[in-house]
Amino acid sequence: MDNNNRQNQANINWFPGHMAKTKREIKEKLALIDVVYEVVDARMPISSKIKDIDELLKGKKKIMIMSKYDICDKEETAKLKSCYEDKGYTIILSDASSSSVTEIISKTNILMEPYFKDQEKKGLKRRSIRVLVMGVPNAGKSTLINRIVGKNKAGVGSKPGFTKQLSWIRVGKNIELLDSPGVLWPKFENQEEAKTLAALSSIKEEVVNSFDISNFILKKMFELYPKRLEERYGITTLTDDLIGEYNIIAKKRGALKKGGVSDYEKVSKMIIQDLQNGYLGNITLDRK
């Protein structure tokens, strides 16, 4: 095994220029925005919350949308949801169902009603509500927009960084949605959160060491969902350097090079793919 590569724990950082630009452009458009849908991934509602979002949004009305609810650990995500609600957040759990869309629209209208009533008193007509959809890369912003619109208007991709620019999308007469490219923040103070983001594909794979992430996944799964590791890989204990575990997985999944030597690189990628593709079950990696 390439031990240098496997054990070289470099800090993760990913804040390319286009993210800073997106934040600048959002700031410029803020005066036009009535409501913000803050999209977090239900599998990591703490790690995937943009750390400096409140600083940027300066008191805008917000609804937090927990996307990918269909693939999270519902029990754990419910605890995190209550935590946010205790702090005053309005939260909607979003999966592929149409009921979550109805709830989103209705909560948005409720938020705006006092404003429109006020406008009507001044003799002004109702206008469409302008909503900014914001979140980390790959959080599910564009998918959410398509669900609300009922058509595939926004581009969607499984890799982070799919949406490249801000763009307005109209929903009927009443709402306009502003899709935005995923953004992070300049420095990850918490590397555990950074690894969680990378493990669930909100940080692009080219900027992380895949062994850092697969090691992290094995350790995290062993801590939170040990049975899943047993079911998928037949692993029941974890050693410090994880080499034995990589060998077990390599054998079980046929990730072998010539002469029956484990292909560690391939095993590392498999572990990451297994988590992302749901083969390790529905998971939530954050805890209160």
Check residue 186 for interaction with ligand GTP (CB under 6 A): no
Contact 32, 129 (CB under 8 A): no
Q: Which two three-digit tokens encode residue 251?
A: 């054998």
What CA–CA distances, in Å, run from 224 to 41, 76, 244?
A: 18, 11, 20
Stretch 147-176 residues interacting with ligand GTP (CB under 6 A): 156-158, 160-163
DSSP letter, residue 30: G
Query: Which among 13-21, 62-70, 78-86, 138-146 is the span making contact with Mg ion, rule CB under 5 A?
Result: 138-146
SS3 93: strand
**What do you get for the CA distance between the two ends of the chain, in Å?**
36
Check residue 195 for interaction with ligand GTP (CB under 6 A): no
Candidate list 47, 100, 142, 146; residue touching Mg ion; CB under 5 A: 142
For β-strands 167-171 and 175-179, DSSP reports them as: antiparallel
Residue 73, binding choice from ligand GTP, Mg ion, none, Cβ under 5 to 8 Å by partner class: none
Report, in Å, the least distance between residue 78 CB and ligand GTP: 16
In this structure, which amino acid lies at residue 52?
D
Which residue is it, tokens 């609804």? 63
Candidate list 142, 196, 209, 268; residue touching ligand GTP; CB under 6 A: 142
Query: Which among 27-35, 67-75, 158-166, 238-246 is the span making contact with Mg ion, rule CB under 5 A?
Result: 158-166
Where along the sequence are the contacts to Mg ion (CB under 5 A)? 141-142, 162-163
Where along the sequence are the contacts to ligand GTP (CB under 6 A)? 67-68, 70-71, 94-95, 135, 137-143, 156-158, 160-163, 181-182
